Amino acid sequence: MTDDDIPIEATTSDESAEPVILPKYVSSHYLVKFDEMIRFMTSHFSSTVCPQCQKDDGWSIDMEDPDPARVGNEILQVFRLPHASNAKNFKTAFLMSCNACGSVRFIMADHVKDWLKANPVEKK
């Protein structure tokens, strides 16, 4: 661990996982790993075809921690979306974009976190 890292008590669906060490710039408590988002998406969407262009060229998800050493274990970037005229009111979301046309899809972070909590990974 470096001076630029802080231990985060991440609330992931895998309770047996080691604590995640993240850079200081990670300020959100909406910590969702890439593999957890894939599990969420698989349970909620029957197709990966883009609803705008009808192509199935995959989706890109913005990552908070793009460290190649964490492949499959990356932390997703959380976006704050203003939802009222007051700049202090916002909703949190994960952003995905179609690799073919660039169409953007937001998935609400609260919904993902609630589903992950209600559907933990089965212990082997």
The β-bridge partners of 93 are 79, 108
Residue 28 above 60 pLDDT? no
Q: Say which residue the tokens 């029957």 belong to.
A: 46
DSSP codes, 40-89: HHHHH-S----TTT---S-EEE-BS---GGGTT-PBBPPEEEE-SSSTT-
Residue 99 above 90 pLDDT? yes
Please state the rounded mean pLDDT for residues 18-22: 52
Q: How confident is the model at residue 103 (pLDDT cuts 50, 70, 90)?
A: very high
Q: What angle do CA 117, 122, 124 make, to 5 degrees?
A: 150
Q: What is the pLDDT of residue 76?
A: 77
Q: What is the pTM of this model?
A: 0.67
Q: What is the pLDDT of residue 11?
A: 44
